[in-house]
Chain A
Amino acid sequence: MTGDALLEIRGLKVGFPTPEGLVRASDTVDLEIYPRETLGLIGETGSGKTVLGMAILRLLQPNTIIEGEIRYRGRDLLSLPEAEMQRVRGREIGIVLQNSGTSLNPVYTVGTQIAEAVILHQGLSGPDARQRAVELLDAVGIPDPVRMAGEYPHRFSGGMRERALIATALACRPNLLIADEPTKGLDAVTKRGIVDLFSEIDRDHSVLFITHDIETAGDLATRVAVMYAGEIVEIGGAEEVLGDPAHPYTRGLLASLPERGMQPIPGSAPSLITLPSGCRFSPRCGCAVENCSREHPGLVEVGSGHYARCMLYD
């Protein structure tokens, strides 16, 4: 099942040099995204989810150290010249960045900004691009799209901005959509609306849905990957991973949900500069044995297409 992946990440390492040392935001990540699937990427804040999404489109600061391979339809995005990368961004792979509140330029109308993508890639003229922007706003469920296309971002509510950003990312019909916490900071009803929108989108697009909201991931994702301290600790079908979690960390995450007893995982996530030896979760793990702090476990198949990074299954 490796040949037909739309996006294939191999041994991706992302590091940020800082005066305190190298921050290893992503460490040897392997991941595939198949056509028309929604992969939910879940993990705590600071586990490296956003960095992974940004690294795919090479949107990180120039001094970031990136190693490994990111193959999109056979081409390694990491070695693509910048000019070609610009043709991939927006057209082949769209991204909805975090912080929808500040991701729109306050000096242009929302319609103008959605039209930008169309003008950049499809060479449409002003009025045609504008028309396309209105259609897109309509498609993502903005009421009265003709009028709203002419409004400035500050007139949009949080949920509407999120929708506008999704419209922008979808403007050139990319094959893959990366959505970075699109439900962050939204109330329950608005969130529901966005989740419904994504369940429509993922019929036509592959989606990498980055979230710390396990429920949302469960609703949308066909497969789920769990990240902890820059590593993928568990990956598999959504039902298997969330229904029968193999890794103690995933189990801990589920147990911390309000409806499952709200038991937090003891301790806090490690610093990405000084990572614990052996299994990175071992200092917080209830099942840790002596060997856990000495050996770094690899991903072990625990079911069909279901892998966990834990000594318990060695």
Chain B
Amino acid sequence: MHKKIVLAASLGIVFAYCAVALLAPVIAPYDPHAITGAPLSPPDRDHLLGTNDLAQDIFSGLIWGTRATLLLGFVGAAIAVTVGTAAGIVSGYYGGLIDEAVMRLLDVAMTIPIFPLLLILTTFFRPGIYLIAVLMGLLGSFQGVRLIRSQVLSLAVADFVVGTRALGAGDGYIMARHILPGVLPLAGVKFVTSAQHFMLIGIGLGFLGITDPSVVDWGQMINRASQNGAMILGLWWWLIPPGLAVTLISLALAWLGYACEDEINPRLRVMRV
């Protein structure tokens, strides 16, 4: 029962964030870039969360910032999971030299820390937000390859796979029809956990001030707030809301990931109460 509440709550939060992202123009009272009154004013009726040093409405920034965070998380995760699943299936199914080559490449690739590499790439090339999402997805797909491959190794020698080959099916058919469904639940969990991971990375990049400057995002909001003394001046409405927004979506995705993992792997249930 307790688990169902957690699952429902986390799903609810994720859906609410998606709705906010989609309806941002409707919900946000102001253009997040517009100057809307006195700078650094505390929350009141016109400005639900006050204004920043440029007199921009913080509540509107918070609403619009949802888009950037969700986009980085979900587009990045979709790419990472697609690439990881495809490579994992091919590697695990064919085995032999192909598998060996993929695995050794991964060994090398996994020694590269994603975040610093992204830092360098974004600093040099100043890419737009979509390109950042793609880069994240590609660099973040390595772990997924291993995860999926390990599952495929056991599926590839399953009797029903041999049986399907005995019916005259080719490799492509077997991988698409008989291997892929077996790894989809795992890929789904990986999608959720990757999305969370990428959202945090996106916030991190924003905080360091090296994301797409034309896009409003929470990382940049936190950066601006802390750079301009929000902490010292006690301007909580500037610093706390984006931080809370990040924390909540991150927690929701983590819970969702755990709940899905429990569902597909009953052996974990006892361990994580």
Contact = CB atoms under 8 A, between A and B. Distances in A.
Given A97-B162, A102-B158, A107 B169 contact: no
A95 B169 CA distance: 13
Given A62-B96, A107-B181, A120-B173, A87 B168 contact: yes
Contacts of B162: 59, 97, 103
Contact of A89 (B160, B167, B182): B167
Contacts of B166: 57, 59, 89-90, 94-95, 97, 169
Interface residues of B, number: 18
A97 B161 CA distance: 11
B175 to A, nearest CB: 13
Point out which of A83, A97, A165, A171 has the most chain B C-beta atoms below 10 A from its C-beta: A97
Contacts of A103: 159-160, 162-163
Interface string B173-189: 10001100110000000
B126 interface: no
B165 A105 contact: no
Given A103-B159, A107-B181, A107-B182, A88 B167 contact: no
Interface string A86-127: 111111001101010011111100000000110011000000
Interface in B123-181: 158-160, 162-170, 173, 177-178, 181
Interface string A49-74: 00000000101001100000000000
Q: Which 10 residue pairs of A and B lie closest in terms of their CB atoms, listed nearest first?
A: A90-B168, A89-B168, A90-B167, A102-B159, A105-B160, A103-B159, A117-B167, A103-B163, A86-B168, A95-B166
Contacts of B164: 105, 116
A112 B201 CA distance: 44
Interface of A: 57, 59, 62-63, 83, 86-91, 94-95, 97, 99, 102-107, 116-117, 120-121, 165, 168-169, 171
B167 A99 contact: no
Nearest to A107: B181
A171 B182 CA distance: 25
Given A89-B165, A102-B158, 19 more contacts: A57-B166, A86-B168, A86-B170, A87-B168, A88-B168, A94-B166, A95-B166, A97-B159, A97-B162, A103-B159, A103-B160, A104-B160, A104-B163, A105-B160, A105-B164, A105-B181, A116-B177, A117-B168, A120-B168
A94 B177 CA distance: 20
A102 B168 contact: no
26 contacts: A59-B162, A83-B170, A87-B168, A89-B167, A89-B168, A94-B166, A97-B159, A97-B163, A97-B166, A102-B160, A103-B159, A103-B162, A103-B163, A104-B160, A105-B164, A105-B178, A107-B182, A116-B164, A116-B177, A117-B167, A120-B173, A121-B168, A168-B163, A168-B167, A169-B166, A171-B167
